A and B are shown apart, each in its own frame.
Chain A
Amino acid sequence: MLKIENLHTYYGNIHALKGINLEVEQGEIVTLIGSNGAGKTTTLGTMTGLLKATEGKVFYEGTDITNRPPYEIVKMGMSLSPEGREVFPQMSVEENLKLGAFIRNDKEGIEESFKRVYDLFPRLLERKKQTASTLSGGEQQMLAIGRSLMTSPKLLLLDEPSLGLSPNLVLLIFDLIKSIKEQGTTVLLVEQNANMALSIADRGYVIETGKVIIKGNAKDMLKDENIKKAYLGSL
């Protein structure tokens, strides 16, 4: 479904991605882990057209989408829930979700997506008229994920969805990611919480300073001594 070949991205002189290779198959949860500054967010940004690749290719469903503008990529069915939530601060929860459905014209489908999102996050339904900037961090995270789902994506990219959430909420978010997958959406998950991410993922990639250094089956990676030491803490 998604194939990244030898991707390079710069911020000015900083060479952030140094040839990333990565694949996601339809129906999978794939997780991308790695320490701070490894290049995870940059990988997602380059895939979605927010950042320009200087070298390499991104293929989505067989089409070369390298350096296409973000609005074209979103329309093809790839949606990013960005790091740091990035909600529309002065808009209500409902308007934020409505913007998620900006590219769609199927009224009934949009209604259904609203229902799906409100079912997943009853909290958002309770607060649908509340201004997004006044939501708690966890609620904003739910809103960001909900908003991505409103685009009705085939491939959902999540950048650290559990960041800053209480343990309960983290569990809830990971459960949710599983149910998103079961409902037929493919997921690429970037996480600091490597243990949790690997436990729900099918496959995983570890990136370090702009390169993939380990890849494999998530179950095997969970047991791998090196990965355990470097990324899974004492668990």
Chain B
Amino acid sequence: MLFQQIFDGLTLGMVYALIAVGYSLVFGILRLVNFSHGSVYAFGAHIALVVAVSMQWGIFPALVISIIFTGLLGIMIDKISLKPLREKKSKPIAALITTIGVSYIIQNLLMIIFGSHSKWFPKIFDYGIIKLGDISINSTQLFIFLVSLLLLVFLTIIIQKTKIGLAMRAVEQNPKAAHLMGINVNYIISFTFFLGGASAAIAGTLISGYYQVVYPNMGFIAGLKAFSAAVLGGIGVLYGSVIGGLVVGLSESFAVSYFGGGYRDAVAFVILILVLIIRPKGIFGKKEITKV
């Protein structure tokens, strides 16, 4: 029982971490909380729905195609709505409000195209129960956990070990100097939005395959939980998002077992509020959220 709760929590937590890194990456580079990210996640789930259910191509093509389209959506959001604001040197609050607006535009488009009702999504990685000694593990959860972990490691390698990752860190630490090093800063920002969108697409597909439903405003609560996770870990810090995601996932799992399903969504916000009061920088953070 205890093991099951922990494992439920870790699985959810890894998926929240995948969404949270999207907030973190964009915040790191633009000092902007991208509130459209939850809707981007929902968009990713709907692309996977089209590929896996309508076209019956299977889950792996669904993942890949969703990554590409959702990544491109991320780039478009920046190019169409945020870049013009940057170039006009608008106040940060303008960009923040824009991302909220973009969020509703995406959600409404999804409603128009797919309808607002919940749609069935196939269970993914369903290979039954895996037994490890006395412990039995649900294969869907195990694979969700492993795929998320793999992707988070992959992202970390990109950021820490590759040339484009070096450029991302340079833009994050000093955009002016990054320009002077010959880095095409707009390209790096686009790439960052692509990575954020791609991670959200993966998270959206995995969660859809876990709960087996997809609906246009599925990103609202998931987005806010992941945002809490990002803030908890210290927004802008990648491993902070992972730890934050795990804490939010575990708390949610325990709250559901001990207090009932009604408390599922409340925990993340209790955590968010506590963090903002006690340690606004988050556990590992260097920057405060107040910069917007």
Interface residues of A (CB under 8 A from B): 48-50, 69-71, 74-75, 79-80, 82, 86-91, 95, 98-100, 102-103, 147-148, 151
Contact = CB atoms under 8 A, between A and B. Distances in A.
Contact of A99 (B181, B184, B185): B181
A99 B179 contact: no
B173 interface: yes
Contact of A95 (B166, B176, B177): B166
B170 interface: yes
B83 interface: no
Given A71-B182, A99-B181, A151-B182, A88 B176 contact: no
Interface of B: 163, 166-167, 169-170, 173-174, 176-185
Contacts of A49: 179
Given A71-B183, A74-B180, A82-B177, 12 more contacts: A48-B180, A50-B176, A75-B182, A86-B176, A88-B177, A90-B173, A91-B170, A95-B166, A99-B170, A102-B167, A102-B170, A148-B180
Contacts, number: 65
Contacts of A91: 169-170, 173
Contacts of B181: 74, 99-100, 102-103, 147, 151
Query: What's the dominant secondary structure at chain B's contact region?
Result: helix
Nearest to A133: B173
Contacts of B179: 49-50, 69-71
28 contacts: A50-B180, A69-B179, A70-B180, A71-B179, A71-B184, A74-B180, A74-B182, A79-B180, A80-B180, A82-B177, A82-B180, A87-B174, A88-B170, A88-B173, A88-B174, A88-B177, A89-B174, A91-B169, A99-B167, A99-B170, A99-B181, A102-B163, A102-B167, A102-B183, A103-B181, A103-B182, A147-B181, A148-B180
B182 A89 contact: no
A70 B167 CA distance: 15
Nearest to B186: A69
Contacts of B185: 71
B180 A87 contact: no
Which of B167, B180, B181, B184 has the largest number of chain A CB atoms within 10 A? Answer: B180
